[in-house]
Amino acid sequence: MGLGGLAHILTLRHRRFRVCPVRQAANGRIHLVNHRFGNCLLTDATQCPALFRKRFSLAGIDRLSKEAGLAPFLVAYRKLGKRMSDLVNLRAIEDARRRITNIAYKTPLYYSPALSVLTGAKVYLKLESYQPIRVFKVRGAANKILKLSQHERTRGLVAASSGNHGVAVSYVAKLTGIAATIVVPANAVDEKVRAIEEYGGTVIKHGLFHDERYAKALEIQKETGAVIIPPFDDPDIIAGQGTIGLEIHQDLPTANTVIVPIGGGGLISGIATALKSLKPETKIFGVEPEKASSMYLSIKSGKITQLSDTTSIADGLAAREPGVLTFECVKRYVDEILLVSEEEIEKAVFTVMRECHLIIEPSAAAAVSALVKKTDLRKNAEIVVVVSGGNISLKLLSRILSKYG
């Protein structure tokens, strides 16, 4: 982001954009110095030059930000009578569906007789493990990258990822002829690292937690001018993931309960926005590991909470804190967040493999384990469980099979 101390960002007030001073912390987060122009937070942008020291109309902001060399303009905002979660809406999700149709698959909604018998509800699995890269992340990455201008594409891409987001960015970058650099944790799953490299991404291992990786990505952006592709806290990413909600409603309009795993919150924010817009009475349940419950604790406390450690078998859900925008979306649309143990996640991986003959990753298994655990949500329910991905290491899968088989 390269703001280098005190800088300025654009904020929204009374349908006009103004400059607001901000300060960048050592971890790359942006903090407002002055709230006089409204309550907002910059989620992703490059340096903001002095030309922004004036007011702009809504119509002109996109053109001006691109002329200044900014990444697609990503300011999360609140204003009188408007919520930050309004940055993502049904129209944006519908636009995303049209945009990504040649890259991301419309995945199957599979009725599971075995899980239905086990739980006493009608259970359907939304199989994002059937995406070309075996994970839902391709949707958001495709939507974000396809919206970039030609000039932005020539600068290349950089992303911070525990693995799956990096695979998605590398895959879409290869299809669109863009160079991509992915910052992954030092202990990243070998299979995910290999997939990133197979799709042409350059892998840099750094740190263990997302904020460490993101700070490194910001450093690379400053050095190279590459465009950052955020993993979850971004309107375009969230809109891309929200296309899953459109497909669920299209294929099973009678569904009354949807269970979604939560990492940083981009997936559930998009799905919940779509489904609550189309059918407000739909119950949306989020699921986190007990050892990585940052969204649960943030919603409970009413403010974003950072955990000191989030070591979980479900590495895709191990965010130390939720995003600013995803926190607002979850607070607005999600009915309840459920917590599951490491053992329950492992058992769910095994159960789905045994009963459904499907291989799913621990992050996806978390949602299945919540279905089995939460008995009171099953009565008269048509439940959709979002199986977010199938990228599990062979070593881990072998250990689970040996333990429970």
Instruction: Indicate the CATH number for domain 138-228.
Output: 3.40.50.1100
Distance CA 383, CA 302 (A): 28
Q: 152-172 burial, b for 16+ CB within 10 Å, e for fewer?
A: bbebbbbbbbbbbbbbbbbbb
Report the number of secondary-structure helices (H) and strands (E) in the chain: 15, 15
How high is the mean pLDDT of the chain? Answer: 82
- What are 38-81's pLDDT values in tens digits? 333 333 333 333 333 333 344 444 444 444 333 333 333 333 23
Over residues 297-322, the mean pLDDT reads 90
Q: What sign does the dihedral 327-328-329-333 (CA atoms) show? A: positive
For residue range 331-341, list pLDDT tens digits in order. Answer: 999 999 999 99
Average pLDDT rounded to a whole number, residues 160-164: 89
pLDDT for 207-227, tens place per residue? 888 778 888 998 899 899 999
Short-list 314, 404, 377, CA closest to 123: 377
Question: Could you state, in order of their start, the residue ranges of all structural domains in the chain?
Answer: 6-82, 91-135+235-404, 138-228
382 Cβ partners below 8 Å, 6+ apart? Answer: 121, 122, 124, 252, 254, 255, 256, 257
Confidence (pLDDT) at 85: 63
Q: Which CATH number fits domain 91-135+235-404: 3.40.50.460, 3.40.50.1100, 3.40.50.880, 3.50.50.60?
A: 3.40.50.1100
Q: Do the domains 91-135+235-404 and 138-228 sit in the same CATH topology, yes or no?
A: yes
Query: What's the pTM?
Result: 0.81
Residue 266 has a pLDDT of 96
Residue-wise pLDDT for 102-159, tens only, equals 999 999 999 999 999 999 899 999 999 999 999 999 999 999 999 999 999 999 999 9
Name residue, tokens 């979980």: 312
Q: Tell me, what's the pLDDT at 376?
A: 76
54 CB-near residues (< 8 Å, 6+ apart): 19
